[in-house]
Structure 1
Amino acid sequence: MVSSSENNYQPVKNSPTKLDKFLVCGLGSLGQHCVAILKEYGAIVNAIDLEQPQNLQIPNLLNLLENLFFGDCRQASVLEQADISQCRTIILATGNERVNIEAAFAARLLNPQVRLVIRSDKKNLNQLLSQTLGNFIAFEPNQISASGFAVAALGDEHIGYFQVEEHQFRVVKHQIQMHDPWCNQLHIHELNTQNLRVLYHTYDASVLPKEFHQWEPERKLRPDDTIIYIEVKEQFQSLKKVAIKPQRNWQQLWQEIVLGRVWKNFQQQIPSWRRKLHTYQSLRVAIICGLTVIFLWCIGTIIYILNYPHSNVVEAFYGTAVLLLGGYGDLFGGINFQTPPEPAQHMPGWLRLFSLALTLTGIGFVGVLYALLTDVLLSSRFQFFKSYQPLIPVKNHVVLIGLNRVGQRVAALLEKFKQPVVGISSTGLGIDFFHKIPVIIDSITDALGKVNLANSKSVVVVTDDDMENLEIALMVHAQSPTTRVIIRTYDRNFRDNVARLFPYAQVICTSAISAEVFVAAAFGENILSLFNFDTQSILVVEYTIEVGDTLNGLLLAEVAYGYGVVPILYQNFKRSPVKLMPSDNIQLTVGDRLIVLANTNSLQRIERGEMFNKTWQVEIEKALAEDAIFDGANEISIISGCSIGTARKLMDNLPGQLPKALYKQQALRLVRRLSKLRVTARLKPFSDN
């Protein structure tokens, strides 16, 4: 574990001074949580609401506020009274989208520089307003929380799942087993590659660290250890590539025929064809009629050619077709009792009778084909209006209860994950939704008996009523005690109480999760995604390094271990190709792009420029080769960030100590690199002396 002394902070000397006053409009569940988190950042918070908040989910809410004003946040006078001109950001979190947007207009007119963070689900309008108003961002709590419910429903080892551009990331929690290739073989730091980074490690799965990098790099993985890591998959590029099947030449085909492979494959397909024919009676009739018509077509053509050898084969073929389609009168003319029609003067009687039989048989069989085709067309037409839906999964599926906006969003994400899902709703839905997943519209009690609950993977309850969600969760547990249950709530106190009383249920507070995103955006961060981990939210945050930024000029090692974040993507300001899981040696400069995993505490430290103290020092003992002195100096400069002159001076006067303190994982990495260059070094606690 990292030494406790590292938890002391040291401020960044050139951290920028910014306005720390924020305004929150609407003190519902979301607004209250925004106020609480803003105070954790050390901000000054004013609020506007129409009336005194009745349901206080944050017990000391009024004490957290600098001032509380009552009125309509769309009115300029109310905003001026709330000191909008001195605010860095206004968070518009009322439950009415129109009120939020109109208040954003009023705030922009009064303060052209204020950042606008609003609650809105109108995606297209939000994009247009962002382009027009500038310094504007909008979120919808339902969309923010949906990914958390979907990933929780997957269960197993999945914790998070998100996408950055064409890169797909997955966060996995894995308990080491004896048969794992990692077990007793690798040190933890050896797991880190260009496609994987270790986030957490613990000996006890029930007790997980609250910060990243709280693991010993040199420790070997043992059975029952738990690690959490993030990995990247380049799947979107590969999916676009069409697999080209190798062409089979005639020699290969002939060999397959000789060896009997074609016949064996044909024999293997016969039972499946029989089952299909037995299942679809109409198809059986159509095949019989079709084969009969083709047989008569061929027989008729042959008979006419044999009886009229000087005739054209094509004419015989088409003549038979005309007879089968009921064209006897077209070929042999109308009824004439005086003399035979011209085409039939020299035709034998039996052949005329055969032609008539062809016509009568063709009318019958072709008529059946017409009838079947008409039936298929009408059935498909009426099927469009019927509430047709896929079959209910038998096992390893997710039961989704409550198909409101959150539920439908969760269903869409689960479909994207290729996870079987069945929905339950007590009210009717749009017909389009029935074609996506199987849906049961019934009372919850009756519907639970129809979804194969005992064999399900998990049950997600996302109705709009907290108490109904709890009631359903208890019903599910009573019927299937081993099934995982995920419950939606708006109240953080309700979440905490239910989680303690019913440990089998995972309770997700929509407002608490969404508030972390709103507040992070209020400080100017670009939030790309988030996922839940051990009662805390992990945000995927994008930074663009600016002049005076607390990240400017730092090595990625200092960013990672100093602020407690995990860099997962880096791109140079010249728009060079992105680097996934970038090296700790990269130094940030103005214009660089960086995406990290961070929790709320990490974002607060970055905002205030408070880094963990560096408490370790590297002592260089000796170099075992002449060239090791030169290479070792380069490595020291690259990993520690000290000047190359300082590093060369140290290597020329061994033994000696690196005058710059490092973070523990950074220092251990330097020792390992020096060892490969045949330079002996060791770690020791940092001393100012």
Structure 2
Amino acid sequence: MQAQKPAQRVKARRRGPRLRQDIRVFVRLFPWGIALIMGSGLLVTAWFFQRDFSRVGSLPEPLTYVQALLSVIKILQLDYDLPVPSALDPYFALLPLIGLPLFLLFGVNVFRVIRVFFVRQERGPAWQAALAATAHHHILICGMGRVGYRLAQQLLGLGFDVVGINDASSPLVETLLDAGMPVLIGDVRNEGVLCQAGVTRATTVVVCTNHDLVNIEAALRVRDLNPQARIVLRLFEDEIAETLSATFPVAAIISRSALAAVAFAHAALGLEIVETFQLGERQCVLTWLPVKEGSPLVGRRVGAFCDALDVAAVLHRVGNGLPREPESEAVLQAGDALLIFAEEGQLAPLLACGEVAASRRPIAVCGLGHTGYRVVLRLLDLGQPVMALDFEPGRLAQRLIERGVRVTFGDLRQPAVLAAAGVGEAGALVVCSEDDVLNLEVVLRAREVNPGLRTVLRIFEEGLGAQLQQAFGIDAVYSTSAIASPAFLSAVLQFNVAQLVTVDGGDFYLTRLTVKPESALVGSTPAQLTAVEGVTVALHARGDRVTVPPAADVILQGGDELVVLASQPQLRWLSRERRR
């Protein structure tokens, strides 16, 4: 059976709640004020009409209140057929004059509300504002760019109420609107817009626009409006982040480019980084390690290899088969691959394994935005020679020049420019500008200059990335927002944080959890948890001591932290066991 796509799963899961949400918004938008004025006026007018008609009327029996009410309605319809004394002429003149415009206004408003209720494409700012007003204890995301969009999708998939703010409409915003998520268009720094989005009722606010100063100003405004809210802030400048974290109470400050740089830099060297995240002061990674023909790994046992490098094997893929939980005594063969969990400092020994040995040929980095700049710095930290290329000079390029990095400017889509920059002698090329089409074109032109070049491509659409990788033989394709969004998700959820990792079509969750003193996990061991199908314990932390892989017989205590790779059913089981 073909697995549902994430977007399909989210829509299916939220269909019932969305209907209840739409009904709440319909009730909120219904013109109750006009209806109350009309209803009250109709009842009061009927009472006066009954009194006056009974005093001057010529009917053999007095007019009842119900008859008077029906008479007033008929007068409004210009369809009254009872004999009426001339003393009641004011009713026939004034009622249609005042009542008909009110009825028309009421009808137009009711029609508009009914129309937008059934025709989702007609829903505008008023509907989004009303929809946001129904949210309580929700998560507010300020900035619906690539990071905000992916974070919103993940939170919606986990069943959270999410409200977004963006400065303009976009295809990403439209996709979220179609999924039933309220997104307000406005300035994230504007107090009125924040209040419309329910900032005072939000439990967590994520500020993740592309501009540091905008993010800081928005965060300060959020703190003034809701001192109890947890604030997750996106920043690029490390110096600002350090100063701000010391003086301003935020739950987390995250740099998308810093997280993505780890994946891009190591991909250029031959390692496929699946996931990067912080564990205290430690930067940890989840990476695929291929076993190639002639590699020293061929013939080694999985357990012995992991013990030698102090890493954890999370999954073992035999040939072209599906990944499975590794067996310690399994013997590695050419064509196998191991999904390795390790601290970043352990990646250098992994690079020495087989054909992924680090080359001393320079690595070319094209596109010196936030991501490209940090990729260059990461490669320099790894001791790799680097050449940088960009279309035109910029602030970050100047910083690299000051550090002694060779930087070339020009139209990188021209093979002559790439050749003059030295791409023909490079061992790998990382292309990471903000333009997906431009990145692909640079990769193709660079292949003309250097056919044996290892290529790493930045792209937003992960599905398209996999197709491009297969069609053009690109060695690695990454999305910076996809790499960074799990870190934002971790900061939002605080505990039992699940990071989705797709491994050959199977969905696993890289989960960090704290063992509570009252949890059912207390007294068990990592070996007992790993024995459960669909669960692999990759890390155990107690105090300042982190063990990778964890000792199989250590007894779990309250306050211990675990990093676990679990299937979705086992993730729910772990969550229940943790709370019990």
Q: CA deviation at 1:31?
A: 1.6
Structure 1 residues 351-430: aligned runs within 5 Å: 396-428=361-393, 429-430=397-398
Question: Any conservation in 1 of the 2:298–2:334 contact (CA below 8 Å)?
Answer: no
1:136 and 2:136 correspond: no
- Cα 1:438–1:607 shift into 2, 3 Å: farther
Identical-pair percentage: 24
1:49 and 2:163 correspond: no
Alpha-carbon distance in 1 for matches of 2:531, 2:225: 41
Alpha-carbon distance in 1 for matches of 2:226, 2:399: 46
1:464 and 2:455 correspond: no
Question: Any conservation in 1 of the 2:535–2:570 contact (CA below 8 Å)?
Answer: no
Structure 1 residues 69-468: aligned runs within 5 Å: 69-155=184-270, 171=287, 173-175=289-291, 177=293, 180=296, 183=299, 186=301, 188-193=302-307, 195-205=310-320, 209=323, 214-217=325-328, 219-230=330-341, 396-428=361-393, 429-430=397-398, 433=401, 435-444=403-412, 445=414, 446-468=416-438
Secondary structure of 1:430 counterpart: helix
Question: Any conservation in 2 of the 1:29–1:491 contact (CA below 8 Å)?
Answer: no
2:550 is aligned, of 557, 565, 582, to 582
Amino acid in structure 1 at the alignment position of 2:541: Y
Secondary structure of 1:35 counterpart: helix
Aligned residues: 423
Alpha-carbon distance in 2 for matches of 1:142, 1:539: 23
- Cα 1:176–1:32 shift into 2, 3 Å: closer
Q: CA deviation at 1:93?
A: 1.9
Question: Any conservation in 1 of the 2:140–2:197 contact (CA below 8 Å)?
Answer: yes
1:570 and 2:541 correspond: yes
Alpha-carbon distance in 1 for matches of 2:444, 2:345: 41
- Cα 1:119–1:552 shift into 2, 3 Å: farther
Question: Any conservation in 2 of the 1:22–1:88 contact (CA below 8 Å)?
Answer: yes
Amino acid in structure 1 at the alignment position of 2:454: R
Amino acid in structure 2 at the alignment position of 1:398: I
TM-score where L is the length of structure 2: 0.61
Q: CA deviation at 1:598?
A: 5.1
1:609 is aligned, of 556, 565, 575, to 575
Alpha-carbon distance in 1 for matches of 2:475, 2:307: 35
Which residue of structure 2 lines up, in the alignment, with residue 507 of structure 1? 477
Amino acid in structure 2 at the alignment position of 1:440: T
Which residue of structure 2 lines up, in the alignment, with residue 685 of structure 1? none
Secondary structure of 2:388 counterpart: strand
Higher relative contact order (CA 8 A, sep 6+): 1
Secondary structure of 1:34 counterpart: helix
Alpha-carbon distance in 1 for matches of 2:575, 2:496: 18
Q: String of CA shifts for 1:611-642, please: whole Å, max 9, x gaps.
A: 89xxxxxxxxxxxxxxxxxxxxxxxxxxxxxx
Question: Any conservation in 2 of the 1:23–1:89 contact (CA below 8 Å)?
Answer: yes
Question: Any conservation in 1 of the 2:288–2:337 contact (CA below 8 Å)?
Answer: no
Q: CA-atom RMSD, angstroms? A: 4.3
Alpha-carbon distance in 2 for matches of 1:181, 1:29: 39
Question: Any conservation in 1 of the 2:535–2:564 contact (CA below 8 Å)?
Answer: no
Secondary structure of 1:486 counterpart: strand
Amino acid in structure 1 at the alignment position of 2:159: G
Question: Any conservation in 2 of the 1:47–1:65 contact (CA below 8 Å)?
Answer: no
Q: CA deviation at 1:67?
A: 2.8
Amino acid in structure 1 at the alignment position of 2:482: A
Which residue of structure 2 lines up, in the alignment, with residue 33 of structure 1? 150
1:518 and 2:518 correspond: no
Question: Any conservation in 1 of the 2:292–2:334 contact (CA below 8 Å)?
Answer: yes
Question: Any conservation in 2 of the 1:147–1:531 contact (CA below 8 Å)?
Answer: no
- Cα 1:438–1:461 shift into 2, 3 Å: same
Alpha-carbon distance in 1 for matches of 2:449, 2:506: 30
Unpaired stretches in structure 2, ≥5 consecutive residues:
1-135, 348-358
- Larger Rg belongs to: 1
Q: String of CA shifts for 1:567-592, please: whole Å, max 9, x gaps.
A: 33422x4x5x5444221322332333
Amino acid in structure 2 at the alignment position of 1:174: P
Q: String of CA shifts for 1:145-196, please: whole Å, max 9, x gaps.
A: 111111111116887899975899795613165784761x64x445443713
Q: CA deviation at 1:214?
A: 2.5
Q: CA deviation at 1:104?
A: 2.2
- Cα 1:505–1:216 shift into 2, 3 Å: closer
Which residue of structure 2 lines up, in the alignment, with residue 651 of structure 1? none
Amino acid in structure 2 at the alignment position of 1:416: D
Secondary structure of 1:142 counterpart: helix
Q: String of CA shifts for 1:172-229, please: whole Å, max 9, x gaps.
A: 613165784761x64x445443713222212225x553xxx63345544344433343
Secondary structure of 2:389 counterpart: strand
Q: CA deviation at 1:477?
A: 2.2
Alpha-carbon distance in 1 for matches of 2:142, 2:513: 27
Question: Any conservation in 1 of the 2:509–2:565 contact (CA below 8 Å)?
Answer: yes
Alpha-carbon distance in 2 for matches of 1:233, 1:66: 37
Q: CA deviation at 1:514?
A: 1.9
Alpha-carbon distance in 2 for matches of 1:167, 1:75: 36
